[in-house]
Structure formats: structure tokens, C-alpha cells
Amino acid sequence: MKRQYKSNKDFLLYNTITKQKEIFKPLHPPQVKMYCCGPTVYDLLHIGNFRGAVFFNFLRHWLEYKGYKVTYAYNFTDVDDKILNRAKKENKQMKEIADKYIAEFKKDFQALKLKEHDHNPQATQFIQQMIELIDTLLQNKKAYTVDKDVYYSVKNFPNYGKLSKRKTDELISGARVEVDERKKNPADFALWKSCPDDESGWDSPWGRGRPGWHLECTTMIFSLLGNNIDIHGGGSDLIFPHHENELAQAEGAKEGPFVKYWVHNNMFTFGGEKMAKSTGNVNIMRDFLTEYNGEIFKYLVLSSHYRSMTEVSENKILQCIQALSRIYTFLKTAKETTIQNKVSNNDQSSTFIKEIQSAEQNIEEELSDDLNTPAAFAVIFNLIRQFNEINQSKRDIGEAATHAKWISDIIMKYGKLMSLFQESPEEFLNKLDDIFLKKNNLKKEDISQLVSARTEARKNKDFKKADEIRQQLLDMGIEVKDSPSGTTWSALRQ
């Protein structure tokens, strides 16, 4: 039984801090302030980095669809030891490395055809604000100095651990450096780290140094969105220590809850292990886009629930290609059918039209239940299956066109929220053919020659030879279809 909502704006969203699904109610409707942790820019990013980018793009669209006005900030960490080490290795400035890989990220982001964020803050643009926040934490007795370093004192923040639900004795250092024995507590984390004069750094009241990783996001949220926001997003690997430490900093400096809804997408795995550069277990996004394309990646992300761990494999990608092929083949059929036949937009009396309307309501309900995209896709595939079964023997072409138009509109409507299914069906199916041919070392000209030879054999009534060529093509994974307008071929993607 589906949940009944009081308003068409209502939907359930899982909140990490309460560990339950809650009806989404923003702090100051219709405004929604949303922040998502972006990448550390020291190299080309792997596909795991983009799972969150795709999901939170959908969440932002869903909020806007529900009538909210969203302000969305997605940051770049452009000061980090990894960036510094890359800069030293290439004999460049840290800013050169960061700027280069921010630009590369944006190329991949644009290739995915996602909506631009309202803000893309960079940590180095907010150094002075970070220094001011550290000073506030020192005044509030939430931090202490050790020589030229500054640490956050978790002992002085009683609620430390409330996001990750970790007990104090389970806590570890959150800094991206080796544990410093000068700290009062092993769980204390760096707010400011001193550095030599010959390294990239900034002057501060405590000496030359760089900000701690966790300090960046808290400061950028305060500066751009205010002291309290509706949604803070990121990967589940950031819950601890990064987001736990962000929360401690924010609520140690300002009054009131920092974030109302903590939303986390789960990880991609490859070969059963988390995808991460530190282990070398990566699939670079640029390589994925070259071998496949952005539409396949977006479907790969959204075909699994955002809170589920998802294994990425050749078989999983093939399943995504097959699924997209089914949807785009239907969209192509619907487009051709509605062009050639009259559509009755007022015909809402047929049993199947009522089923289509019911299916749309089911999609809405599934997405309203913590953005359950896999369940929504299942409804779409069931609609396509029903359409194919009903219209295979249907003589009323006009009614079939009406059904096709209704279903196509639904797919396009919800697909647009996901940044999916907006491609030209003909062009996208051709892209899938090209992927199939490339992966199987086949050439279009060779296939075209076989298709032409088959057409010639049929013309000469040499049906035995024509059938042999058809079978040869099928063995290659190529299907041929004959129609009054001629013969066409496509890769067997299903």
C-alpha cells in the first residue's frame, strides 16, 4: 500500500542522521539550499566520483519539479596534499594542477549533459573566511593550538559522533596526515596545518600554513548558503570523518542544526572492491565516455537505488545498453507511429489508456519513495511490454499511435528529470550500433556489403543464398529487417 501524502509536494527522503525516511520539509519553503561535496582535483576523475554528480543532479531536478526553488552548491577541493605532491612531481604550482583538473572535470560533466550548479566554490577562494571560522572555534573553546597548528577538540563537542553513530572510543583521526602525538585526543582533527615557506600556503595568526580538509566545506556553506541548510550530500564514504567533522565545526561555531537532511549515495565497486584511486581500482570517466557514452553512464547510476552498493562490470554495462535499447527503440517506434497516424489526445476511455494513467501514478509514487529510480524504470518497461503485446495484432493504427504518444510523453517527462531519454532515438540507436561494432571488431562497410548482397539475392529470387547471408549476419550479431521502404540492419542489443 502506497503512502498517502498531504501535499503533492511531499515525498520521502532518507536522512542519514536519523537513519530513516522522512517527508521532506525544507527550512524556509519554497527555498531549498543544497550543498554537495565535490572532487579533490589532482587527476582525471573515475566514474565513482560521478555517481553523486548524476544522482544529486536528479535530486535537484526532482525538487524543482515539486515546486521548490533550489540553490545548489558543488565545490572543488583545490588545496590538498595530493595536489601538492602532483605539483612537486611536475614542477608546477598547486593552482596550475587544480585549474587543469577542474577544467577536465567540467568537460566530463558537460558530456553527461547535467545541469550547471548555481555555485562551484573552490577552497582557495575562502581562506580568509576559514581563518575567521577557526578564530571563532578557538573563542568558543572548541579548538586549541599546538605550536603553529590548530586542532578541533572533539571532547569539547558533546554531540560528536551523532551523524556516523560512532562511539568515542571508535573514533580515529580525521586529518589527511599521520596521527600527531601532540594532540590532546587521537580523534582531534586539524583545522590549520603549518607548512614550510617554500610550499604553497597562506599567512595566518598561527603562522604560515594550509586549512584542514574538513574546514573547507563548512566555511563555503556558511559563506554561500548561510548557517543552516536543507540538504548536504556526498558519497557514503564521507559520512566519517569528513561530514562528522563538518557538523562538529559548524555547530561548534554557530547555533542551531547545521543540516536538516544528510543525504548520501553509496559506492561503486569493481571486482568486489570499492572504486578508489588509492588502490588503483578505478575506471576513469574520460575512458568510459570514449568507450561508451554519457547516456549509458547516467542509466548505470540510476538503474540502481542511490543508497545501494553497485558493482560495475562488463555484464552490468551490457544490461544498461540493452535496457536503453528497449526504451529508445520504443521511442523511435512511437515517433514514427505518431508521425504517420492521427493521435487522439482526448481518447481516455480505453482500458489501456487507464492502465497508462495508473502507471504514471505508480512512477510518481516510486520516485516519491526515496527516489526509487529502479522501481520507476520497472514500471516503464512493463508499459512498453504491454504496448508491444497489445499492438502486435491491433488493426486500429490510430489507437496504437495514441497509446504510443501517451507512453512516450511519460518516458520523456520523467526522463528529463533524470537527464535521460532526451536524445534523438535514431541517433542514439546508431551510437549503440557503433559501440557494438567497435567492441566486436566489425565494420559498417562490411555489413553494408553483406546486406546489399542479400538484397541482390532476393531480387534474383535466390532465397537460399539470401537466407545464408541473413544467418551469417545473425552470427555476427546483426539483425536485418525488410519493409516496403527497403532493408535496414541493426546490432542485436537485446
pLDDT (tens digit, 0 to 9) for every residue of the chain, 494 residues total?
456 677 889 999 999 999 999 999 999 999 999 999 999 999 999 999 999 999 999 999 999 999 999 999 999 999 999 999 999 999 999 999 999 999 999 999 999 999 999 999 999 999 999 999 999 999 999 999 999 999 999 999 999 999 999 876 665 544 344 467 789 999 999 999 999 988 889 999 999 999 999 999 999 999 999 999 999 999 999 999 999 999 999 999 998 899 999 999 999 998 777 766 666 667 999 999 999 999 999 999 999 999 999 999 999 999 999 999 999 999 999 998 877 666 555 555 578 889 999 999 999 999 999 999 999 999 999 999 999 888 776 556 678 888 999 999 999 999 999 999 999 999 999 999 999 898 889 898 889 899 999 989 998 999 999 999 999 999 898 888 887 667 888 887 65
Question: Does residue 195 sit within a domain?
Answer: yes
* Cα 430 from Cα 436, distance rounded (Å): 10
Does residue 165 fall inside a structural domain? yes
Domain closes at, from 302, 329, 350: 302
pLDDT (0 to 100) of residue 395: 56
Is residue 5 in some structural domain? no
CB 337 within 8 A of CB 397: yes
368, 235: one domain: no
Are 240 and 347 part of one and the same domain? no
Which of residues 371, 392, 427 is at a domain's end?
427
Residue 350 lies in a domain: yes
Residue 308 in any domain: the answer is no
Provide the strand spans (E) within 236-323.
259-265, 268-270, 273-274, 310-311
In a domain, 241, yes or no: yes
The CATH number that applies at residue 131 is 3.40.50.620
CATH assignment at residue 354: 1.20.120.640
Do 492 and 321 meet the contact criterion of CB atoms below 8 Å apart? no
Same domain, 177 and 317: no
What are the distances in angstroms from CA 90 to CA 42, 94, 112, 278, 483?
Answer: 12, 10, 30, 19, 60
Do 368 and 472 share a domain, yes or no?
no
**For residue 167, what pLDDT is reported?**
73
Residues 324 and 298 in one domain: no
| 432 within a domain of the structure (yes/no) | no
Do 395 and 446 lie in one domain? The reply is no
Residues 242 and 98 in one domain: yes
pLDDT at 173 (0 to 100): 42
Please tell me whether residues 469 and 326 are part of one structural domain: no
Residues 191 and 266 in one domain: yes
In a domain, 16, yes or no: no
Place of cell 551523524: 163
The boundaries of the domain holding residue 337 are 313-427
Q: What is the count of structural domains for the chain?
A: 3
Q: Look at residue 231 and give its three-state secondary structure.
A: strand
269 and 391 in a common domain: no
**Chain centroid to CA 137: how far?**
34
Do 254 and 140 share a domain, yes or no?
yes
Do 351 and 457 belong together in one domain?
A: no
309: number of Cβ within 10 Å: 12
Q: Pick from 302, 330, 349: which residue ends a domain?
A: 302
pLDDT of residue 415: 98
Q: CB-based contacts of 479: which residues, under 8 Å, 6+ apart? A: 473, 489, 490, 491, 492
Q: Are 24 and 12 in contact (CB under 8 A)?
A: yes
Contact 56, 70 (CB under 8 A): no
